[in-house]
């Protein structure tokens, strides 16, 4: 368990002017944990762009908020629940969903979409495959259980597999909610004398020290930390949602914050600190699930489905009436004071008294050493890449691989149609939900590529911002803002800290360039088990705005249409081929550098793509990413319509088919001239590479045929591979 | 027409049903709180999807004891139309307003996807605008939607033309591919698929409107 360091303990003594009590020490430990204080990353997070014309609320609140026009706004954020999901996959993932949903509705927004980014060890890993499959099934089950019952559609996400996640899976959950711009609530304990009200579930001993657990590496004994993982109750959360939104409408609520990491401790001192006030509570008034809980346990419990709110003095009864209607506990446990202190009493006796600012804003700030090369798991020079013996078989192997095959098995367990807003659900380049109130829609994409980031964290981060924005552009949406989840190893190791710094700087540059300010997010460090760090895994969630219209989707729709490659065939060389899925699946290797990115060109491709889609020139649209051109073409054939493709290139066939250079998309159209006009105006390449046809995908160059396969076979392999990987017969 | 949509604390498709009837079909839809002992002045009632009271016990097992269900039973006994969708269907079988049971999906997992249904009878308030044999595309989203009943009950349902909808691609193992059934008096329909989620082409299908519009047209015809 990460305790306070001797230097931190000294700082506590100088703040208090005395020895801390046991409860106070516990409070400082969680509030100054990496998870709550971002003490290793804060210095560098400041480099990220956070402002933009649409940004109403940036980092520091429970979620970021942007203006979507028509008097409405959206709140969104991503958060990790990595450590709990390793210890207890089902509940760990379920409470991860619960936590981020509360972050959204505590601001007054009704959650309308969830996406998740998942990382696991390989399902066929010789030593850990069984455990990896069990973790995956538990995580997916937990997300499904919580989101479906709560009634929020899980509309997309992504999932990938690498051995570095064998002992440290990642579960990053993104949630988005909508509300009126003038109905935003903040986590502020304003108004001296106002009552502090506790609502929701009773407090138990579950999850004590979850925040500090999430700030430590795993050793073998971590398996004994199961009691640190909370148990979720999505029905209770649904009641809490409805009750909070209804109570907010009474006008009696001054400020509100959910009890997530560090529970009652975090919500009290953060609300006080934001308002510059003090908060006094008496723990004997807190609804408790168990008897004999100590002040330390009550303050540090991470029991789920609880909220803290401050009401206008004398208006408590209005709040209580709403919560009573929904069958929930609501009790006054204290009041707002003017002295700036968090004063915790138990049956009247003071057990802790700490300045709120010291807890929420004066946590230690570390400039951890990072002036060395980031840790790299691979060599720079390319191995000899033998000529493929069968390109058709290579394509099938990629379509069958865990990273690239259809994840239908996962997303079919999520209710993605509830709330009747889902215009484009899972499986597309971006998910789209309509906003009934404004008549417009929101597109969302989550992306992360730890292979690229392992090879070059700075370039990898730029590539993933670019891809996320390209995904949005592929459905015609204009990128507006983003949220990030930075998953890394132990920041006290300079070679890991260097990965983090490089990633943040690369992400900052790209987010500035693509005009997607980061409005909030999460940093998850110490993702290491037995000294083995995960690869640097930044995940970014981007939101875009668009008109509400029938979506342009990936599959080819009709035969006889012109297939166009927007952005050109791109460039590739052996060094920059080392991070591809071909290198992973066919060659079982990782080396070199990620693909090179020309951000200026990328931006022009995205602008052209949006224009083509929005002018309804494209019948289908798909961004080229993992697996390269050939995999993207095969995915375009998943609707049953194939294509006859001829590529004019001097690249060797492995590179031409499978390199993952960015700034490219595949379109099918009846109006190739109109598409070409837009491409010319944007000064980007656009090639007619073939024609859609029935039943087969054929790809060749000059007189060679590289790929020739019935579409049904491609689809069969791609759609069913995942179930095969999970089947016990595979063991 | 006035359509009442029951709101249990864990209903999460209440708004969807309300929106489909009021916005897509232009009817007057209103919510009815689960503690109400009366349904008020309405022409039809909808039990929407969701997780009524959490459904940690059998789905709908607690809902059948709610005050509003006593009122729904009385309403049904008068021959008035009751439409139960998903969790609403589960509550109707738990309450004994429809025969059989809805058990865990054959695949043991929650399943959300579009299914194709075949309309098996147009002799009901809910399918009168459809042709027998017509295909309808709409989503399912449930963990416990496998329709189960003994052979005698199944035979009886078929003999009395009370199987309203069947799956063409059974997603949950329902016996005889049953997706929706009618009560003896044909005024209560329970179905697992979600017509309210398929009431706008933008969402992928507008086939659900056939069910919702049948109901509205039947009510209009009856009041004329």
pLDDT tens column, A568-585: 999 999 999 999 999 999
Bridge partners, residue A329, by sequence: A200
Residue A499: strand, helix, or coil: helix
Q: Is the ipTM above a cut-off of 0.85?
A: yes
Q: Which residue of A has its CA nearest to B143?
A: A413
Is B112 known to be catalytic? no
Chain A contacts of B10, Cβ < 8 Å? 149, 235, 238-239
CA distance B115 to B111: 11
Q: Which residue of A has its CA nearest to B49?
A: A418
CA distance A537 to A697: 34
Chain B contacts of A423, Cβ < 8 Å? 202-203
Angle (CA) A49-A52-A57 rounded to 5° is 90
Q: Which residue has the higher pLDDT, A1 or A254?
A: A254
| B194 close contact with A: CB closer than 8 A | yes
Which of the residues A81, A83, A128, A659 is marked catalytic? A81
pLDDT at A452: 98
Token digits for A730?
């595979």
Residues A470, A606 contacting (CB under 8 angstroms): yes
CA distance A241 to A175: 14
Token digits for A402?
């865990």
As a whole number, mean pLDDT of residues B177-202 equals 98
Confidence at A354, pLDDT banded by 50, 70, 90: very high
Q: Which residue of A has its CA nearest to B105?
A: A413
pLDDT at A220: 53
Give percent of chain A above pLDDT 70: 96
As a whole number, mean pLDDT of residues A437-449 equals 96
Check whether A218 has a pLDDT greater than 70.
no
Question: Number of residue pairs across A and B with CB atoms under 8 Å?
Answer: 82
- Mean pLDDT (chain A) is 95
Mutate to test the interface with A, among B7, B8, B9, B172 (most CBs of A within 10 A): B9
Q: Which residue of A has its CA nearest to B9?
A: A239
Check whether A34 has a pLDDT greater than 70.
yes
As a whole number, mean pLDDT of residues A110-123 equals 98
Residues A511, A517 contacting (CB under 8 angstroms): yes
Residue B187 dihedral angles phi and psi, to the nearest 5°: -105, -5
The pLDDT tens digits for B45-54 are 999 999 999 9
Residue with tokens 């931190």: A8
| B205 close contact with A: CB closer than 8 A | no
Note whether A417 contacts B112, CB cutoff 8 Å.
yes
Check whether A728 has a pLDDT greater than 70.
no
Confidence at A730, pLDDT banded by 50, 70, 90: very low
- Mean pLDDT (chain B) is 97
Note whether B113 contacts A412, CB cutoff 8 Å.
yes
Q: Which residue of B has its CA nearest to A323?
A: B9
Residues A61, A270 contacting (CB under 8 angstroms): no
Note whether A420 contacts B111, CB cutoff 8 Å.
no
Chain B contacts of A239, Cβ < 8 Å? 9-10
Confidence at A208, pLDDT banded by 50, 70, 90: confident
Chain B contacts of A548, Cβ < 8 Å? 202
Check whether B209 has a pLDDT greater than 80.
yes
Residues A630, A493 contacting (CB under 8 angstroms): no
DSSP at B176: G
As a whole number, mean pLDDT of residues A482-492 equals 97
Check whether A225 has a pLDDT greater than 60.
no
To the nearest 10°, report the CA torsion of B119, B120, B125, B126: -30
Check whether B201 has a pLDDT greater than 90.
yes
Q: What is the least distance, in Å, from the CA of A418 to any CA of chain B?
A: 7
Is B86 known to be catalytic? yes
The pLDDT tens digits for A138-193 are 999 999 999 999 999 999 999 999 999 999 999 999 999 999 999 999 999 999 99
pLDDT at A592: 98
Is A81 known to be catalytic? yes
| B86 close contact with A: CB closer than 8 A | no
Q: Is the dihedral of CA A301, A306, A307, A311 positive or negative?
A: negative
Bridge partners, residue A620, by sequence: A668
Chain A contacts of B9, Cβ < 8 Å? 235, 238-239, 242, 326-327
pLDDT at A531: 86
| B12 close contact with A: CB closer than 8 A | yes
For residue A358, give Cα distances in angstroms to A16, A278, A340, A647: 10, 12, 10, 63
Check whether A211 has a pLDDT greater than 80.
no
Query: Helices A391-400 and A628-636, interaxial angle, to 10°?
Result: 70
Chain A contacts of B54, Cβ < 8 Å? 149, 233, 235-236
Note whether B16 contacts A413, CB cutoff 8 Å.
no
pLDDT at A709: 98
As a whole number, mean pLDDT of residues B36-56 equals 96
Check whether A731 has a pLDDT greater than 50.
no
Note whether B112 contacts A423, CB cutoff 8 Å.
no
As a whole number, mean pLDDT of residues B211-221 equals 97
Q: Which residue of A has its CA nearest to B23?
A: A436
Check whether A2 has a pLDDT greater than 80.
no
Cα separation of the two ends of chain B: 12
Q: Is the dihedral of CA A283, A289, A293, A296 positive or negative?
A: negative
Residues A87, A213 contacting (CB under 8 angstroms): no
| B13 close contact with A: CB closer than 8 A | yes
Nearest residue, CB atoms, B202 vs list A238, A239, A550: A550
Mutate to test the interface with B, among A420, A432, A435, A441 (most CBs of B within 10 A): A420
Residue with tokens 């019952």: A149
Nearest residue, CB atoms, A420 vs list B19, B50, B56: B19
Chain A contacts of B50, Cβ < 8 Å? 151
pLDDT at A530: 85
Q: Where are the alpha helices (DSSP H) in A250-315?
A: 263-275, 295-300
| B148 close contact with A: CB closer than 8 A | no
Note whether B110 contacts A144, CB cutoff 8 Å.
yes
Q: Which residue of B has its CA nearest to A411?
A: B112
Check whether A432 has a pLDDT greater than 50.
yes
pLDDT at A223: 47
| B109 close contact with A: CB closer than 8 A | yes
Radius of gyration of chain A (CA): 26
As a whole number, mean pLDDT of residues A43-58 equals 97
The pLDDT tens digits for A489-543 are 999 999 999 999 999 999 999 999 999 999 999 999 999 988 899 999 999 999 9
Residue A190: strand, helix, or coil: coil
Token digits for A623?
């961004």
- Lowest mean pLDDT of A678-687, A709-718, B215-224, name the range: B215-224
pLDDT at A598: 98
Check whether A316 has a pLDDT greater than 90.
yes
């Amino acid at each position: 368990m990460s305790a306070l360091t001797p230097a931190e303990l000294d700082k506590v003594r100088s703040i208090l002017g005395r020895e801390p009590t046991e409860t106070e020490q516990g409070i400082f430990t969680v509030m100054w944990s990496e998870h709550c204080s971002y003490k290793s990353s804060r210095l560098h997070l400041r480099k990220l762009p956070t402002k933009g014309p649409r940004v109403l609320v940036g980092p520091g609140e429970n979620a970021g908020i942007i203006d979507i026009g028509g008097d409405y706004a959206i709140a969104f954020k991503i958060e990790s629940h990595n450590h709990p999901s390793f210890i207890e996959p089902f509940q760990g993932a379920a409470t991860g969903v619960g936590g981020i949903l509360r972050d959204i509705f505590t601001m007054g927004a009704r959650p309308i979409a969830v996406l998740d980014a998942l990382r696991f060890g390989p399902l066929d890993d010789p030593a850990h495959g069984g455990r990896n499959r069990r973790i995956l099934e538990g995580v997916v089950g937990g997300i499904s259980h919580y989101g479906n019952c709560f009634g929020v559609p899980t509309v997309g996400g992504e999932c990938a597999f690498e051995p570095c996640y064998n002992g440290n899976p990642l579960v990053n959950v993104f949630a988005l909610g909508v509300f009126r711009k003038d109905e935003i609530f903040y986590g502020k304990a304003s108004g001296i004398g106002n009552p502090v009200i506790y609502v929701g579930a009773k407090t138990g001993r579950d999850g004590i020290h979850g925040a500090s657990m999430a700030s430590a590496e795993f050793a073998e004994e971590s398996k004994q930390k199961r009691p640190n993982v909370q148990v979720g109750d999505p029905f209770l959360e649904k009641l809490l949602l409805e009750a909070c939104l209804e109570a907010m409408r009474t006008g009696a609520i001054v400020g509100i914050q959910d009890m997530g990491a560090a529970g009652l401790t975090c919500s009290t001192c953060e609300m006080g600190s934001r308002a510059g006030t003090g908060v006094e509570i008496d723990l004997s008034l807190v609804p408790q699930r168990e008897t004999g809980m100590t002040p330390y346990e009550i303050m540090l419990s991470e029991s789920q489905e609880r909220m803290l709110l401050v009401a206008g003095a004398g208006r408590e009864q209005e709040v209580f009436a709403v919560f009573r209607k929904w069958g929930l506990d609501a009790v006054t446990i204290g009041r707002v004071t003017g002295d700036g202190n968090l004063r915790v009493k138990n049956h009247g006796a003071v057990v802790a008294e700490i300045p709120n600012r010291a807890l929420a804003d004066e946590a230690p700030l570390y400039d951890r050493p990072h002036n060395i090369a980031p840790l790299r798991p691979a060599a720079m020079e390319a191995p000899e890449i033998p000529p493929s013996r069968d390109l058709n078989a290579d394509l099938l192997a990629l379509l069958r691989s865990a990273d690239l095959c259809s994840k239908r098995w996962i997303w079919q367990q999520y209710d993605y149609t509830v709330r009747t807003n889902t215009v484009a659900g899972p499986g597309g380049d971006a998910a789209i939900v309509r906003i009934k109130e404004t008549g417009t829609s929101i597109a969302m994409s989550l992306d992360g590529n730890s292979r690229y980031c392992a090879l070059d964290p700075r370039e990898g981060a730029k590539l993933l911002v670019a891809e996320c924005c390209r995904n949005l552009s592929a459905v015609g949406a204009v990128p507006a803002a983003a949220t990030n989840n930075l998953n890394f190893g132990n920041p006290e190791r300079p070679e890991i800290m260097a990965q983090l710094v490089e990633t943040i700087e690369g992400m900052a540059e790209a987010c500035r360039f693509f005009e997607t300010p980061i409005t909030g997010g999460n940093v998850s460090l110490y993702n290491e088990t037995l000294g083995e760090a995960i690869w640097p895994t930044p995940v970014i969630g981007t939101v875009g705005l668009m008109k509400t219209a029938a979506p342009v989707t990936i599959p080819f729709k009709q035969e006889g249409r012109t297939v166009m490659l927007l952005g050109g065939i791109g460039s590739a060389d052996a060094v920059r081929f080392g991070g591809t899925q071909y290198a992973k699946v066919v060659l079982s290797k990782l080396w070199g550098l990620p693909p090179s990115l020309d951000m200026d060109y990328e931006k022009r491709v995205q602008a052209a793509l949006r224009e083509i889609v929005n002018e309804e020139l494209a019948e289908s649209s798909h961004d080229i990413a993992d697996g390269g051109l050939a995999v993207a073409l095969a995915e375009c054939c998943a609707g049953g319509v194939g294509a006859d493709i001829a590529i004019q290139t001097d690249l060797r066939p492995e590179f031409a088919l499978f390199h993952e250079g960015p700034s490219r998309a595949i379109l099918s159209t009846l109006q190739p001239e109109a598409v070409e006009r837009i491409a010319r105006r944007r000064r980007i390449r656009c090639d007619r590479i073939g024609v859609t046809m029935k039943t087969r995908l054929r790809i060749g160059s000059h007189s060679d045929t590289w790929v020739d396969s019935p579409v049904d076979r491609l689809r069969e392999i791609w759609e069913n591979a995942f179930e095969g990987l999970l089947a016990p017969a595979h063991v | 027409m006035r359509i009442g949509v029951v709101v249990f604390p864990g209903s999460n498709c209440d708004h969807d049903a309300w929106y489909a009837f009021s916005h897509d079909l232009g009817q007057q839809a209103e919510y009815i709180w689960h503690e109400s002992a009366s349904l008020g002045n309405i022409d039809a009632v909808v039990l929407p999807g969701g997780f009524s009271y959490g459904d940690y016990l059998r789905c709908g097992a607690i809902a059948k004891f709610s005050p509003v269900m006593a009122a729904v039973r009385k309403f049904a006994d008068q021959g008035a139309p009751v439409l139960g969708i998903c969790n609403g269907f589960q509550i109707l079988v738990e309450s004994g307003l429809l025969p059989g049971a809805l058990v865990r999906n054959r695949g043991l997992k929650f399943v959300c996807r579009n299914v194709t249904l075949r309309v098996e009878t147009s002799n009901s308030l809910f399918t009168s605008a459809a042709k027998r044999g017509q295909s309808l595309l709409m989503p399912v989203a449930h963990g416990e939607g496998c329709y189960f009943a003994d052979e005698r009950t199944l035979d009886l349902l078929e003999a009395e033309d009370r199987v309203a909808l069947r799956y063409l691609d059974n997603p949950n193992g329902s016996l005889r591919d049953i997706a929706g059934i009618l009560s003896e008096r044909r005024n209560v329909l329970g179905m697992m698929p979600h017509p309210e989620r398929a009431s706008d082409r933008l969402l992928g299908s507008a086939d659900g409107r056939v069910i919702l519009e049948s109901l509205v047209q039947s009510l209009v015809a009856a009041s004329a």
